[in-house]
Structure 1
Amino acid sequence: MHGWVILGDAATKRVNGQEVVVIADRSGDLGAAIRAWEDDERRRMAYELGNLGRLVNDALDRLRQAGAT
């Protein structure tokens, strides 16, 4: 939960130039809400990096095939 500014039942953080606001759920557990957002963000980033890796690998394969002909 590093870098969050806590404001009552809400927390804010700047991520990639945008302000993210997380609000405590019905239980009032702001820490759980922040952890859930961070987990979702971690999964999103891993998914996007996986996609980028596949694009790079495909491009390298095409370059290798073009050089082999």
Structure 2
Amino acid sequence: MGAIAQQRRVSKTRKLKRRTHYKLEVPGMVVCPNCGELKLSHRVCPVCGHYNGKQVKEIKVKEEKNDKEN
């Protein structure tokens, strides 16, 4: 069995009108009440690890190496 035959050609206007709803949505960003950085809503803050007023994830702080001081 093959593919279904096309019944009628779809005009450019009709095709584009249908595709107007195919768009990206902006993610819901909110300000973290603990550190003030932007984070995704209903998710743990990637900067400080707080969610719903509680520390739920430990964040490791990267130490900078200064070779010029040695």
| Structure whose residues are more often helix by fraction | 1
| Structure whose residues are more often strand by fraction | 1
Relative contact order higher in (CA < 8 Å, ≥ 6 apart): 1
Fold shared by both chains (TM-score > 0.5): no
The TM-score, its normalising length taken from structure 2, stands at 0.31
The TM-score, its normalising length taken from structure 1, stands at 0.31
